[in-house]
Amino acid sequence: MKIAVVLACLAASVLSAAPSLAATSNITSTHRADFYAAGKHQFYAWCADGQDRILRQDGVSAPDASSKLAQKTAGCRLSWQGRIAS
């Protein structure tokens, strides 16, 4: 009897997780496409002077935008937040 209950709970968990995984994989693929897409990218900057801030930069990809910001913001560590609408 206990095995049947455990198996039923396991089956219910697997069936309820499938739609969530499908939705999450769509978000992940969009996020990856945005990383390599041209446009305005948003970064969070942790700065040594304690003045952390959010910065935006145009670029052909996130690495391109990040390198442009790195030249302007010495002493800051950049973290890509996403591509944003102009």
pLDDT digits (tens, 9 = 90+) for 10-52: 665 655 555 554 444 445 567 789 999 999 999 999 999 999 9
From the list 34, 28, 45, 30, the residue with the least C-alpha distance to 84 is 34
Residue 29: per-residue pLDDT? 62
Note down the domain range covering 42.
2-84
Q: What whole-number distance in Å separates Cα of residue 84 and Cα of residue 86?
A: 6
Instruction: Write down the residue that tokens 């145009």 correspond to.
Output: 58
Please state the domain count of the chain.
1
From the list 86, 48, 41, the residue with the least C-alpha distance to 65 is 41
64-85 pLDDT, tens digit each = 999 999 999 989 999 999 999 8
Mean pLDDT of 4-10: 66
Task: Please tell me which residue, 52 or 7, carries the higher pLDDT value.
Answer: 52
Return the SS3 of 69. Answer: helix
